[in-house]
Amino acid sequence: MKKVITVLVGILLLTGCGNKMFNTPTKKVEAYFSNYQSLDKAVLSQLDKVVAEEEKFNTKQRESYRDLMKKHYRNLTYDIKDEKIDGDTATVTVEIEVTDYSKVLEKAEQYLKDNAEKFKDEVTGDYDESAYMDYRIEQLKKADEKVKYTLEMTLTKVDGEWTLDNPSDADLSKIHGTYRY
């Protein structure tokens, strides 16, 4: 899961267009989150790549997880709270609201610890990771609790164009609903 979150950072760092009206820190941050909500082609392409590389998922699980994340992205909401510009650097404060998958993941991990026998292969008696992944994805699908986070998105002006800096791993975890607090 962390691999999924970390790799997704590269998909949305915008270099923008030449139109000055859209070349503001706030507009860049709005575009960043709008790309998630609208399931921009680049977002879906990167999501496909990351999900395909997840070794713990089988084909059906990859499809289910991809659909889960698409729903998550569409339901992400954001509200720009502030913009501060200092020369060629800027900070945009944005409040986001996302599905809180972190609690679901913690509960699933605890369930595995408390009920390991439910995730054993019937033939070999060994741990069946695929059965646990099915369980975990089903629990994530049921998630309905939301959580709000305030993020400080930083930008740098390069050749006259505002560019979003790489969000921290913690901020990416918040965006993807998996931040453990």
Which phi and psi angles does 125 have, rounded to 5°?
80, 0
Q: What is the pLDDT of residue 21?
A: 72
pLDDT tens for each residue of 95-146: 999 999 999 999 999 999 999 999 999 899 999 999 999 999 999 999 999 9
Q: Are 13 and 28 in contact (CB under 8 A)?
A: no
Q: Are 6 and 53 in contact (CB under 8 A)?
A: no
- Nearest CA-CA partner of 16 in 162, 157, 167: 162
Structure letter (DSSP) for residue 18: S
Structure letter (DSSP) for residue 144: -
CB atoms within 10 A of CB 141: 14
Q: What is the pLDDT of residue 171?
A: 95
Q: What is the pTM of this model?
A: 0.84
**Which residues make Cβ contacts (< 8 Å) with residue 158, sequence separation at least 6?**
88
pLDDT tens for each residue of 10-56: 444 443 444 567 899 999 999 999 999 999 999 999 899 989 999 99
Q: Which amino acid is at 107?
A: K
As a whole number of angstroms, the distance between CA 41 and CA 30 comes to 17
With 90 as the cut, is the pLDDT of residue 165 above it?
Answer: yes
As a whole number of angstroms, the distance between CA 144 and CA 16 comes to 34
Q: What is the pLDDT of residue 22?
A: 85
Q: Are 116 and 109 in contact (CB under 8 A)?
A: no
Strands, E, within 31-179: which ranges? Answer: 77-86, 89-99, 146-158, 161-164
As a whole number of angstroms, the distance between CA 59 and CA 176 comes to 22
CA angle 33, 15, 89 (to 5 degrees): 85
Q: What is the pLDDT of residue 44?
A: 93
Q: How far is CA 114 from the centre of its chain?
A: 28
